[in-house]
Structure 1
Amino acid sequence: MIRTINKIVIAGIVMMAVSCKKDLAEINKNPNATENPQPDYLLTASQKISADLYWGADNNFNSTLLIIQHWAKIQYTEPDRYIFSNSSFTSLWNTAYAQSITNLNTIIQLPDERANVNYKNVAVILRSWVFSLLTDAYGDIPYKQAGDIKNNLTPAYDTQKDVYFGLLEELKNASAGLTTTGNAILGDVIYGGKIDRWKKFANALRLRIALRIADREPEKAKQTITEVLSDAGGLISANTETAQFVYTTSPQQNPVSAWFDTRDEFRIGKTLLDKLTAVNDPRIPVFANKPTDASVTTYVGVPSGLTNSDANNLGLAKTSRPGSYFFDPKSPAVIISYAEVLFDRAEAAARGFTTEDASALYKAAITASLNQYGINDVNTVNTYLGQSGVQYDAVNYKKSIGEQKWIALYGQGLEAFAEWRRLDYPQLTPAAAGVLDKKIPVRLIYPGSEQGLNGTNYKTAVANQGADNLLTKLWFDKN
């Protein structure tokens, strides 16, 4: 009798668990979502959501742009001093999983008669980029089981190595699956439906990820880069092919523009401005504005991580805001630039992965970055390249490429943060009033909600990669 009762109780518990899981899945449905989603609408929404996530305040100019000292704060300086809580980085995690990845998975899972092969492969490429942002920032993340709440309410975390390897395979297959004959797609803000550009974007992402793992898995990195350079789809080969989301006017404007419409606490970082000034960089007027106080005739950067009182004493009108280019409503969110691809090829050559000319590619990368911002005069470009502080150093390629790539990635906080950790250049001085014992953050911490909602898998991830704090190096960050 007792055994029978126990069986009934256990059966009831199982039924309750299944019911709860079903209820949670139903609760997490968007009540405003259409029952018959259209791939073009989903594609536009996914691109906009992901671009805002990448370019917006929480993950860019109020965190990573401060950490890598492109920008600094003149007011409310706590983030500039590395004062973050376990809710500071929830935006990247929650929005990426609940919106970006979920929408893209919906496209991938649509029947063929509603979403052709190009829609699905473009969605895979975009999803791979979003997953790369997540693992670059947090390390181990839900990957294989992510975005499927009906079957995996508490998804397991995959190791960073497994995520990168998985993304390389997904991108390779997605690029190969794209077809430039027929199968048109709509709703594509990034490339306007040009499938040949998506092939190049996929290969550029493969190149980026290959170098991300190069210090840990050099043979895999070399193999991938060899495949990419021989792929018929090619790589981004001009500024006109840069992967970027182009905004329009309010309310669909660039998130930096929306922020500066009502707030004014960011300034160009003194670290960056000093570097630009030392080499007479022609991008200074693009990256910064002169102070509004007419008595101040030069650009004035703000040191990183000042206390509120010390920062306020510098004066709002006597310091330089970031350049107007970046808070123009239509300024694009750059995902991968032509300049970055050239820097990556230069590094691959410097590592001995290819037989290309590292020095020539390095110069071409800097030139592409200057051209990206409208600096096209040949004499100006050559004068800049000819300076001793700019010339390529083959003995220390990480320093040359690291410093110039750091400049070229201005505004792309998440990517610049990843590359600074990987290349270890430029060598930054910690925030003046930082709270991490004169150290700089080397990762983002997991959202606090993970400890409650996915506690077992969260604990496994922490046990695998180390304490969940800002100073725990991730797998790719070897040195």
Structure 2
Amino acid sequence: MKINSKHIAGLFLLLGLTTSCKDELAKVNQNQNEAETPQAAYLLTSTIKTTTDSYWGISNNLASSLLFVQHWARIQYTDPDRYIFTNNDFNEGWSTWYSKSISQLKIIQKLAENTGNDNYKGVEIVLQSWVFSLLTDAYGEIPYTEAGNIDVYLTPHYDTQEKVYTGLLNDLKSAQALLNPSGKNIEGDIIYNGSIAQWKRFTNALRLRIALRIADRLPNLSKTTLQEIAAEGSGYLTSNADNAQLIYRDAPYRNPVSASFEAREDYRVSKTIVDKLRSLNDPRLGIYADTTTTSTPEKYIGVPNGLTASDASNLGFARTSRPGIYFRDPHAPAVILSFSETLFGLSEAVSRGFITGDAADYYQKAIRASLEQYNISNDQIVSYLSQTAIKFDSNRYKKSIGEQKWIALYGQGLEAFAEWRRLDYPQLTPAKAGALNGKIPLRFLYPGTEQSLNGTSYKEAIARQGSNTLLTKLWFDVE
């Protein structure tokens, strides 16, 4: 075959022109107002805000878990309060936490590795562990080991809850080793403003939460985890100033609860918690609930959970209590993990024999921390704690802790839902006109999209865990 030198020269000229055109197009398509390379600080801020909005918002909180644990109730459009859902009703959290939260955190991890900033990497692992814990607490088995790497795992495998929880404890242990208050600074942190010492304490508090989540299944691992935390030495949250929370700002960055109430009036405080707080002379009643618009002798009127639309309408908007202004304020904090929760956890850890200490003292301090969170006066706190009904019962520690923790977790629907299933207290009465034959939901439904987009993995998870229904009990929920 003869090679024509003119043709070869022409080919190289054409390739050169093509490459030049591509380079010019790349320059034209660059957005001069945005950075082409993502920055860890901006991604961190965005991820915290996006994740917390979803965690504290309508689908995962107001219209589901807050109703299940009877903190709130519906006064209109009552189907969710009657446990009437479709697969699409639980899509928002799954979609947001995987496609936005986890994917962005993975990018932060790569940026941290490229710049050698272990503190960014440590914070990324802590936040990622929190997100995965929200997912598995709500749904059960989830993509974990293969999640967030779509280039390699287009249809990620579902891991068992045991594997997820034990994996998260290992991840958090790794994060604790990476976090260094003397290391490089981080920016974009809208939880602790760059305080790595506080991130270290939050990391241990999250380890405590997960260790207790598996305590009925893997008590030895729970105990070992708490021993490792003690040996590490950073400690847990030390006051309400250490609360992991996002404090919202003015619109459009306002609290999602505030945004919901600006548009509509679907929600009221549940009669269950109003009655409980009233029976205990609990000073949080006036913070958790508003007085009725129309004056009533009781001042605070809760709505029974699970009414039909007509029965709820008959109660009326003006004669029932909205959630308190504290929670409807645009700047209200979205609490991720509180000092009070940590103290309740330590009380339980002592009660289970995982650590030494005074379980009753931790319990009383936990209640005090919750009351102080809302600026309740010391005199009121002392009076509240002196009641016989509040006294810690070491023989029934799950009841004592479960009931008071349920009160303290008001507004934190997903965590309250997980703890109610785990501790089995308080003992709640199912929705009055509920659709589950006198039972309360035990999990969220997998989104319908999983059946079509990740069908094989989805079916494997269902075969192990049980049918995709609201009443399928999850692995950590033993009793």
Q: TM-score, normalised by structure 1?
A: 0.92
Paired position in structure 2 for 1:25:
none
Give distance in 2, aligned partners of 1:244 and 1:228. 22
CA contact (8 A) 2:112 2:118 kept: no
Answer whether contact 1:39 1:115 (CA < 8 A) is retained. Answer: no
Which whole-Å deviations, capped at 9, do the CAs of 1:250-275 have from their partners, x for residues lacking one?
11000000001111110000000110
CA contact 1:67–1:417 (8 Å) conserved in 2: yes
What is the deviation of 1:279?
Answer: 0.4
Paired letter, 1:224: T
CA distance in 2, matches of 1:151, 1:441: 35
Report what 1:17 is aligned to.
none
Contact (CA 8 Å) 1:243, 1:335: kept in 2 or not? yes
Aligned-pair CA distance for 1:230 = 3.1
Counting matched residue pairs gives 448
Work out whether 1:197 is the aligned partner of 2:198: yes
Equivalent in the alignment of 1:400: 400
Structure 2 Cα separation of the partners of residues 161 and 104 of structure 1: 23
Q: Separation in 1 of the partners of 2:475 and 2:460?
A: 15
SS in structure 2 opposite 1:317? coil
| 2:140 and 2:475 in contact (8 A); partners too | yes
Aligned-partner Cα distance in 1 for 2:88–2:113:
40
Deviation at 1:450, TM superposition (A): 0.2
Q: Please name the residue that 1:141 is paired with.
A: 142
- Superposed, which structure 2 residues align to 1:192-341 within 5 Å? 192-295=193-296, 298-341=299-342
Is the 1:38–1:114 contact (alpha carbons within 8 Å) kept by the matching residues of 2? Answer: no
Q: Give, in angstroms, the shift of residue 229 of structure 1.
A: 2.8
User: Which has the larger Rg?
Assistant: 2
Once residues 183 and 465 of structure 2 are traced to their aligned partners in structure 1, the CA distance between those partners, rounded to angstroms, is 46
Give the aligned residue type for 2:148.
Answer: G
Which amino acid is the alignment partner of residue 436 of structure 2? L
CA distance in 2, matches of 1:337, 1:222: 21
Q: Any runs of at least 4 consecutive aligned residues in structure 1 with deviations exceeding 6 A, and if so which?
A: none
How far apart are 1:115 and its partner, in Å? 6.2
RMSD: 1.3
Q: Secondary structure at the match of 1:187?
A: coil
CA distance in 2, matches of 1:449, 1:354: 44
1:63-462, aligned counterparts within 5 Å? Answer: 63-110=64-111, 112-114=113-115, 116-295=117-296, 298-377=299-378, 379-462=379-462
1:34 Cα shift?
5.3
Question: How far off is 1:35 after superposition?
Answer: 3.6
Does the aligned pair in 2 maintain the 1:239–1:337 contact within 8 Å?
yes
Bigger mean CA offset, 105-114 vs 212-221? 105-114
Say if 1:299 and 1:320, in contact at 8 Å, map to a contact too: yes
Q: Could you list the runs of 5+ residues in structure 2 that have no partner in the other structure?
A: 1-30
How many Å separate the matches in 2 of 1:259 and 1:387?
37
> Amino acid of the residue matched to residue 473 of structure 1?
K
- Deviations 1:159-210 (CA, angstroms, capped at 9, x unpaired): 0000000000000110111111130000000000000000011100100000
Letter paired with 1:60: N
Aligned residue for 1:11?
Answer: none
Could you tell me how far apart the structure 2 residues matched to 1:41 and 1:423 are?
39
Q: Secondary structure at the match of 1:146?
A: coil
Q: Is the 8 A contact 1:254 1:331 kept in 2?
A: yes
Q: Matched residues in 1 for 2:464 and 2:256: separation? A: 36
The 3-state SS of whatever aligns with 1:472 is: coil
Task: Give, in whole Å, the separation in 2 of the partners of 1:376 and 1:216.
Answer: 40
Q: Partner of 1:465 in structure 2? A: 465
Partner secondary structure for residue 108 of structure 1: helix
- Equivalents in 2 of 1:295, 1:418: separation in Å? 35
Distance of 2:445 and 2:298 partners within structure 1: 41
- The separation in 1 between residues aligned to 2:231 and 2:262, in whole angstroms, is 46
- The SS at the match of 1:389 is helix
> Does the CA contact (< 8 Å) of 2:121 and 2:178 recur in 1?
no
Question: SS at 1:305's partner residue?
Answer: coil
Q: 1:115 to 1:74 in 2, by over 3 A?
A: farther
Gapped runs of 5+ residues in structure 1? 1-30
2:434 partner letter: G
Report sequence identity in percent: 57
**Structure 1 position 376, deviation (Å):** 3.0
Q: Deviations over 1:145-164 (max 9, x none)?
A: 00111110000000000000
Does the residue aligned with 1:335 lie in a helix, a strand or coil?
A: strand
Report the Cα offset of residue 383 of structure 1: 1.2
Moved more, 289-298 or 150-159: 289-298
Distance 1:143 1:386, change over 3 A: same
